[in-house]
């Protein structure tokens, strides 16, 4: 069967003469308006929460150190919670380790642009000092230890900053003998 140019013209006339039912247009318009409203609202909520500590610091510079300390503590807590969330999504630590070991035995890399099969290669310059890590229980323990260590060190340095600020020797961003 051969298609003629006149068939395309008939199809074009058919499409141009079609109009959806008015109820469908109204319903679609309502959903688009609802989606845009929610998206804009969530965008502004995110931006206001993201800029909140800096805004408070601008209003009252005397408390900027305390606000930054709270932000640092929350950041470490959020990182810990995210790590625990990932483990919970994989149904616990044992299943997470099994997943990592299974990916370590896989014939294809975990990531499409992966550097190796089932290994974690270190970035420069650490690749000269450390061998690639094979996915498994040891890598999981290193990651878990690293997250907890980060959380403890961040909280400790925040507490230290509060103490140094109380004694008037906290000089943020300055490297002097009299500053902590």
Give 85-115 pLDDT, tens digit per residue: 999 998 889 998 888 888 777 766 555 545 5
pLDDT, average across residues 52-77: 75
When pLDDT is cut at 50, 70 and 90, the band that residue 4 belongs to is low
Q: What is the pTM of this model?
A: 0.57
Tell me the per-residue pLDDT of 46-60, one tens digit each, with 9 for 90 and over: 777 665 556 666 677
**So where are the chain's domains?**
1-59, 65-180
Position with higher pLDDT, 21 vs 174: 21
Assess whether pLDDT exceeds 80 at residue 74. Answer: yes
pLDDT of residue 33: 95
pLDDT of the residue at 56: 67
Residue 68 reports pLDDT greater than 60:
yes
Q: What are 138's two structure tokens?
A: 């040891």
Tokens of 42: 């969530």
Which of the four pLDDT bands, split at 50, 70 and 90, describes residue 44? confident
Instruction: Say which range, 9-13, 72-76, 92-96, 165-169, has the weakest mean pLDDT.
Output: 9-13
Compute the distance between CA of residue 150 and CA of residue 78 in angstroms, rounded to an integer: 11
Would you put residue 22 in left (φ > 0), alpha (ψ -120 to 50) or beta? alpha
Contact 118, 138 (CB under 8 A): no
Q: What Rg, from alpha-carbon coordinates, does the chain have?
A: 28
pLDDT of residue 89: 92
Residue 132's pLDDT is 81
Strands (E), 13-144: 119-120, 133-134
By DSSP bridging, strand 119-120 and strand 133-134 are antiparallel
């Amino acid at each position: 069967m051969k298609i003629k140019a006149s068939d395309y013209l008939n199809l074009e006339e058919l499409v141009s003469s079609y109009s959806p039912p008015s109820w469908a247009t109204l319903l679609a318009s309502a959903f688009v308006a609802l989606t845009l409203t929610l998206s804009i609202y969530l965008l502004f909520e995110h931006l206001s929460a993201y800029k909140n500590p800096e805004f408070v610091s601008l209003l009252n510079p005397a408390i900027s150190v305390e606000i930054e300390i709270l932000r640092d503590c929350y950041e470490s807590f959020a990182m810990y919670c995210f790590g625990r969330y990932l483990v919970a999504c994989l149904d616990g630590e044992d299943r997470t380790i099994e997943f990592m070991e299974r990916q370590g035995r896989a014939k294809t890399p975990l990531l499409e642009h992966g550097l190796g099969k089932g290994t974690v290669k270190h970035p420069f310059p650490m690749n000269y000092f450390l061998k690639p890590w094979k996915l498994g229980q040891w890598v999981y323990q290193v990651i878990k230890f690293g997250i907890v260590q980060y959380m403890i060190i961040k909280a400790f340095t925040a507490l230290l900053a509060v103490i140094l600020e109380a004694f008037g020797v906290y000089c943020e961003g300055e490297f002097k003998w009299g500053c902590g």
